[in-house]
Amino acid sequence: MSDSKPAVTEVNARRLLCPLPVIRTQNAIKKLKENDLLEVTCTDPGAKQDIPAWSRINGHHIEEILEHDGEIIIRVRVGASETK
């Protein structure tokens, strides 16, 4: 049995305005597998609503939202999904 931790993939969505951070999140998740972790860094405050909303409806889970120095870091745990 493997005890390796799930991969963390980083997405740079700084200076992108919504819905582009959501699109970057969505496109990154297409390449990931269930339980992988995605870390999206954005500057558009709208992403705080939009990425969680997109994640909820597409079966992914928000682990954490951090704000630091005008940047927002959103950690998304990839859920099971037929159509990503």
Partner 1 sequence: MSKQIKAVALISGGLDSMLAVKVIQEQGIHVEGINFFTGFCVEGHTHAIRKKHQKKEKRNNALWVAEQLGIKLHIIDVVEEYKDILLNPSHGYGKNMNPCLDCKSFMVTKAREWMEENGFDFIITGEVVGQRPMSQRRDTMPVIAEESGSGELLVRPLSAQTLPETLPEKQGWLDREKLYGFTGRTRKPQMALASQYGFKDYATPAGGCCMLTDEHYSHKLVDMWKNRTNRDYELDDIILLKMGRHFRFSPDFKLIIGREEGENNFMQGYKNQFKTVYSTSHSGPLSIIDGEIENEADFQQTLALIARYTQGKDAAEVTLEIRQPNGNTQAYQIKPMAIDAVKQEWMI
Catalytic residues, by residue number, are 18
Determine how many CB atoms are found less than 10 A away from the CB of residue 64. Answer: 11
Q: Minimum Å distance from CB 1 to partner 1?
A: 33
Under DSSP, the state recorded for 82 is S
Residues making contact with partner 1 (CB under 8 A): 15, 17-20, 22-23, 26, 44-46, 48-50, 53-54, 56-59, 81, 83
Measured CA to CA, the distance from residue 44 to residue 5 in angstroms comes to 30
DSSP string, 52-65: HHHHHHTT-EEEEE
Pick 7 or 30: Cβ nearer partner 1: 30
Pick 29 or 37: Cβ nearer partner 1: 29
Q: Minimum Å distance from CB 23 to partner 1?
A: 5
